[in-house]
Structure 1
Amino acid sequence: MEVLSYMRLFVEVARMKNFRRAAEALEMPSSTLSRQIAQLEKTIGLRLLHRSTRKVELTEAGEVYFKRCQSIVEEAQIAHESLLDVAERPTGTLRVSMPVDLATDYLAPILADFSVAYPLIAFEFDLTPRRIDLQSEPFDLAIRMGPPPTAPSTLVARRIAVLQRYLYAAPAYLKKAPPLTHASDLSQHVLCIGKGATKPGGVFRFFDRGGKMVEVASATRFVMNSVGLSRALAKQGVGIAALDTELARDDVAAGRLIHVLPEWGLKPIEVHAITDTRFLPARTRLFIDFVKARLS
């Protein structure tokens, strides 16, 4: 058991490449962590880490040991978590990174329900679009919109939702705008659509329900990375936004937005839960399954 404990400490240092950050994650003094890693090296008779004042690097032996230890430690953690599964009392802190629009517009009620279902789990949410490093930063998972990441190869992406995107505009905008009967007419309209929806040169691709595609060139004035801002601008009569049906439902019911060109929309957006391992603690696995079931 002592060796397994040492392995766990070594894996955290190897992941963080920093004794101070690893000690913070493990909630122990840096001096104690350093001393126990030194004891591990003494026990196996090999130097595992190159230490300097700025960083920690794995030795050749350390690289080999880390690859083996990581899976062993994860399996041991899963075995421990499985006991909590049996008792249906998963605990611990779940750390999730996700875009602010997705969190506030889609996930807020789901998070509330999950917290009620699993009252012993605490939460830390980082609402940011930045690309986090799941191996060195203390997150259990990241939820991202768009294609799954291709690097590093160790990441595991699980698709949890597909969000359809249709076109919505305010009645005030439509009264003063040119006629709108086909997707090709959108070239004469103001589009409030997020980044990633255009090809170089401001060309948008719209698809009908049968999969037919039309490319529309538009010198749109508003390009953003926020669905919430896109919806807000559309409600102000600035232009046409591309929104998921659920996201637009209340505004349509209240008459603030109208679904235009109902047969046309942008390519759906995939939502993925991304982790750095397939071996997930009970709280992480339950959270992913819960969110997937609700979003689908």
Structure 2
Amino acid sequence: MDVLAAMGVFVKVVDLKSFSLAAAELGVSSSSVSKQISQLEQHVGARLLQRTTRRLFVTEVGEAYYEKCQNILAEVEEAESLVSQLQGEPRGILKITCNMTFGQMQLSKAIPEYMRLHPDVKVDVTLDDRAPDLIRDGFDMAIRIADPHLPDSSLVAREISKIPMYICATPQYLEEHGTPESPAALVDHNCLIFVHAANANQWSLFKAGEQSTVQVSGDMRANNSLVVRESALQHRGIANLADFVIERFATSGDLVRVFPSYQPERLSIFAVYPDRKYISPKVSSFISFFQQWLADHQLQNLWADG
């Protein structure tokens, strides 16, 4: 029996609380997982898991052993990362999670360029506006906009760029409902809200060094900014959207800036990754690449700031 491999299987079973889910994640059969757990329990001479037809429980011994296995597997990964780092070339599978719309419209364009530069790296991308547990879910890194959500002190969040957010609407909406003369006047308008944004219903603008923040509301809330954008394009209300989301419609004039004399709020883009002594070349190289890619592809003069 490969004890290290069995430890990895055991940790995966505990993380997912399921033999079948662990088997699917590892690409093996459930019977293989069960066999490795049984062999591991025989090896250590203790019951690690209690199984019923409906649930799986970790024993007291299993809990203590699980923590040790996590530490051992992390040390092994660090050792392999160090070797890879000394070899100098990024390689292996890079697992990334990212905000949905940003991933569709920005990250998706950058990844093929990165892979052309690093042919030994395979990329596995998951798009989700909810912040996952990087360690539990096996991600190497996350790209998050605004609040990086770091409930785990073992994570690092590195700011790699900023995104301006523009309060905008169609000319037809403003003609029918009037253009608000100040941010405070937004309370009298139908504001379309992207619920996963860090500034979901508190929109901020800046002028002469002063910040104006307004609590907004409206008849439509969505967990995807493209849905919000479409509702704005249908003259339903005022939206607060990232520059890359509205670029085409700002250029065509379908959307106009509501407060041209104010500077927009800028949200941060973070690269989030486990705080390890040795960062793998695939992670460090992608962060450096993507930071430069964002700088090279930053939108210029979408609307001149006030």
Could you state the TM-score of these two structures normalised by the residue count of structure 2?
0.75
Do the aligned partners of 1:141 and 1:273 also contact (CA within 8 Å) in 2? yes
Shift of 1:90: 0.6
SS in 2 for 1:262: coil
2:266 & 2:281 partners in 1: Cα distance?
Answer: 30
Shift of 1:233: 3.2
Question: Are residues 285 and 123 of structure 1, via their aligned partners in 2, closer, same or farther at CA, if it must alter by over 3 Å?
Answer: same
Q: Deviations over 1:246-284 (max 9, x none)?
A: 443443333333223134467543444455664765434
Question: Are residues 5 and 224 of structure 1, via their aligned partners in 2, closer, same or farther at CA, if it must alter by over 3 Å?
Answer: closer
Q: 1:226 aligns with which of 204, 224, 234?
A: 224
Amino acid at match of 2:223: N
2:233 & 2:193 partners in 1: Cα distance?
Answer: 13
Do the aligned partners of 1:173 and 1:238 also contact (CA within 8 Å) in 2? yes
Amino acid at match of 1:37: I
Question: Are residues 110 and 149 of structure 1, via their aligned partners in 2, closer, same or farther at CA, if it must alter by over 3 Å?
Answer: same
SS in 1 for 2:253: coil
2:251 & 2:218 partners in 1: Cα distance?
Answer: 27
SS in 1 for 2:148: coil
Q: Deviations over 1:158-194 (max 9, x none)?
A: 2444433122233333334424432233334332332
Q: Match of 2:25?
A: 25
Amino acid at match of 1:235: L
* Percentage of pairs with the same residue: 28
Q: Match of 1:12?
A: 12
1:30 & 1:251 partners in 2: Cα distance?
Answer: 51
Do the aligned partners of 2:90 and 2:282 also contact (CA within 8 Å) in 1? no
Give the gaps of 5 or more residues in structure 1: none
Shift of 1:104: 1.9
1:75 & 1:226 partners in 2: Cα distance?
Answer: 39
Give the gaps of 5 or more residues in structure 2: 296-306
Shift of 1:288: 4.1
Q: Name the count of aligned residue pairs.
A: 290
Do the aligned partners of 1:192 and 1:223 also contact (CA within 8 Å) in 2? yes
Shift of 1:6: 3.4
Question: Are residues 247 and 205 of structure 1, via their aligned partners in 2, closer, same or farther at CA, if it must alter by over 3 Å?
Answer: closer
Q: Match of 1:91?
A: 92
Shift of 1:72: 2.0
1:26 & 1:246 partners in 2: Cα distance?
Answer: 37
Amino acid at match of 2:128: T
Q: Deviations over 1:89-122 (max 9, x none)?
A: 4123x44343321212332222232232233333
Question: Are residues 30 and 18 of structure 1, via their aligned partners in 2, closer, same or farther at CA, if it must alter by over 3 Å?
Answer: same
Question: Are residues 172 and 259 of structure 1, via their aligned partners in 2, closer, same or farther at CA, if it must alter by over 3 Å?
Answer: same
SS in 2 for 1:261: coil
1:46 & 1:165 partners in 2: Cα distance?
Answer: 56
Q: Match of 2:301?
A: none
1:165 paired with 2:203, answer no
